[in-house]
Amino acid sequence: MAERARLGRRALPVTGADGIDLRIDLTGVRLGGAWVSLTWRDPGGGGIPRALLSAVSADGESLALAEEPVGGDAFAWTGRLPPGVVALRLSALSRTNPFALEAFAIRRRGRGAIVARAALRQPGLTAQAVTWRLLGLKVRARGLIARALAHRAETGYAAWIARFDRLSKADRARIRAEIAGWEAPPLLSVLMPVHDPDPRVLDAAIRSVRAQLYPAWELCIADDASTDPRIPRLIARHADEEPRIRHLRRTENGHIARATNDALTLAGGAYAAFLDHDDLLSENALFEVAKAVQADPELELIYSDEDKVDARGRRFEPHFKSGFDRELLWGQNYVNHLCAVRVEALRRLGGLRPGFEGSQDHDLLLRLTEGIDGAHVRHIPKILYHWRAAAGSGTFSDRALARAEDARLRALQEVAARRGARAERGAQGFNRLVRPLPEPAPLVSVIVPTRDRADLLAVALDGLLARTDYPALEVIVVDNGSTEPATRDLFAHHAADPRFRVLAAPGPFNFSDLSNRGAAAAAGSLLLFLNNDIEVIEPGWLTELASIASDPEVGAVGAKLLYPDGTIQHGGIVLGIGGIAGHSHLGLPGSEPGYFARMVLAQEVSAVTGACLALRAEVFSEVGGFDAAHLAVAFNDVDLCLKIRAAGHRIVWTPHARLVHHESKSRGAEDTPEKRARFEAESRVMRERWAPVLRADPYYNPNLSRAAAHYRL
């Protein structure tokens, strides 16, 4: 094992569980702050990452290092290791699909090598040209080093665009033929408020509409009293050339909401799509919107994925979104661009509201979706909008970020007030909706299956009974045949607490059966299923779970679980990962915001782990509880949540209830023939029962990898 990792000719110690968690010791190597290249192979992975690479500091903190597939079974990472790094760690992204490690090599790199590497990545630049640039001191080293560190994401997205996001002549012909077969193509009105953009970017924005493959559109432009005389001339020229362009000019600047509303007065279409004066539509954007309307004329809201484009036309930072997620929308405007709304609904709401500039779109979406049937919202999982991120674009929210955040909070406060809740400023300037706890606080029955391991259970019980501030709880320990004296002593220690009781349940381990027995004995209107290896780290966690679980729209709620080293163990469950399901953002440092802040915002998910799962007792009874007959150990929580969703309830994951999970320490690993056979049988049950659902998680974009729920292409 020691020969697996090398620094030059020096072998580095490798320890840990083979294929699950390996640690490469860097003690005494002094690589902290150094520029290095890390390369390794994972045979059998098919070129798909099966492990997360991270750098570990002396105090146990870890930083994820995003690897780049470099062909075959090889992977690489190039960059500057963080100061104080003492080890590298490879952690399996799926416990059921362990990785293999071969030929892990560390090579020191100088700044010159990093610069040359970055320079060679510039399109059309030869090695000879790089040499002359370096010798002539024409290379800005700092910028090239930054690009070297950023090349992984750029290269991956560029490759994705080339493979999946380029329309061929055949594609365009197919689209035109499909449109020709429609009896009544819907008219789409594109609303564009304009105020003093760079004329070049405005020209590009207008041309992106004129280049649409879909012909039944109109572009409604409201010039918000631009002071640059070139702007009205440019608009007029395009209108003279294209009769589908309608425009007006405001006599005074009224800002984006009033200008957009004036553009709406020109609209004659059934749906209005919003386009900023500096952004770009993909050539198939309006076709995809019209196609969605053709398939379902009852839609109220349609939105797509998006990315950003810089001044050179380089596309970057794609946002591959989830399906309609009311919970996430309360926190952030994840819908954003491209967004199309039924004109009738838009006018009924009064359009955009002045005074909410910077978050006027978010305010509109909150009002539009309040009480809306999710079936009337459609997400198109394609990049149809390119959001310009360049100097001179003149975006309203960039000029007044604090004002935009204030408007966002005020918009949610109105929604929260109507629900008897409150709105708070959350992480990174986003929102948080805090539901009220019913009065009096409902009794929560905490159900903890266990068999011995008093050391773990003692920590869990102490957290529940001494370090949780929730006022009404009972703890039911479902004892699956404990025999150790330490366990009997622990039970005796808590016996005098009226909130604590033990329910004897001897026999083979069956998590579903033990949980069902605990639920049958529970007195609370809320049930909380909790593993015996959970550690409480903050007092308000149960109040958060109980307040969400009490919401009649919510079927179940899960918490943010961390490993003891502070990395994420559970950020919600994503269907299809590893074939059945996997945990979101597994192994990411707990302080990281995650993909577009997903790990700091409450959101809907398809399932949450049974290690910490709260729900109303009536919901548990409605769906028949856990499946003890077919899912004794694995996937019973996923199955339960899917039954809850099928019954019409939402599943919510919240980052505002954090706990530490010492995962499966009392039960052990799936490392015997019997356990593996049971796991395969339970996997087969899930595939037979839920195959269509497992293939299409509505909260995970189909463009993202199913190897692990790390939101990678």
pLDDT at position 693 over 70: yes
Number of domain units in the chain: 3
> Is there a single domain that holds both residue 218 and residue 341?
yes
> Is there a single domain that holds both residue 146 and residue 265?
no
Spell out the SS3 assignment of 169-195.
HHHHHHHHHHHHCCCCCCCEEEEEEEC
Strand 473-479 vs strand 444-450: parallel, antiparallel, or unpaired? Answer: parallel
How confident is residue 94, by pLDDT bands cut at 50, 70 and 90?
A: low
Contact 442, 549 (CB under 8 A): no
> Is there a single domain that holds both residue 664 and residue 561?
yes
pLDDT tens for each residue of 234-273: 999 999 999 999 999 999 999 999 999 999 999 999 999 9
465 contacts: CB under 8 Å, gap ≥ 6? 475, 494, 497, 499, 500
pLDDT at position 666 over 50: no
pLDDT at position 141 over 70: no
> Is there a single domain that holds both residue 460 and residue 575?
yes
Strand 85-92 vs strand 21-25: parallel, antiparallel, or unpaired? Answer: antiparallel
Indicate the residue among 365, 399, 433 that finishes a domain. Answer: 399
Contact 15, 26 (CB under 8 A): no
Contact 686, 579 (CB under 8 A): no
With the C-alpha atoms ordered 481, 486, 489, 494, is the resulting torsion angle positive or negative?
A: negative
pLDDT at position 398 over 70: no
pLDDT, greater one: 98 or 576: 576
pLDDT tens for each residue of 41-84: 888 766 667 787 888 887 766 677 767 777 777 888 888 788 88
pLDDT at position 143 over 50: no
Task: Please provide the average confidence, as pLDDT, over all residues in the chain.
Answer: 88
> Is there a single domain that holds both residue 373 and residue 496?
no
Domain contains 422: no
Beta bridge partners of 223: 194, 249
Average pLDDT over residues 104-116: 67
Q: Residue 516 has which token pair?
A: 């069902």
> Is there a single domain that holds both residue 496 and residue 600?
yes
pLDDT at position 133 over 80: no
pLDDT tens for each residue of 596-606: 999 999 999 99
> Is there a single domain that holds both residue 671 and residue 565?
yes
Q: In angstroms, rounded to a whole number, what is the distance separating the alpha carbons of residues 55 and 64?
A: 6
> Is there a single domain that holds both residue 661 and residue 519?
yes
pLDDT at position 144 over 60: no
Contact 264, 272 (CB under 8 A): yes
Question: What is the pLDDT at residue 136?
Answer: 36
pLDDT at position 148 over 80: no
Structural domain of 669? 444-694
Average pLDDT over residues 351-357: 93
Question: What is the pLDDT at residue 146?
Answer: 38
Domain contains 169: no
Average pLDDT over residues 1-28: 80
* Alpha carbon distances (Å) from 662 to 2, 539, 565: 28, 19, 10
For residue 54, the domain's CATH number is: 2.60.120
For residue 620, the domain's CATH number is: 3.90.550.10
> Is there a single domain that holds both residue 123 and residue 237?
no
> Is there a single domain that holds both residue 688 and residue 562?
yes
CA atoms within 13 A on the CB side of 497: 18
pLDDT at position 137 over 50: no
* Alpha carbon distances (Å) from 293 to 224, 326, 378: 31, 21, 9
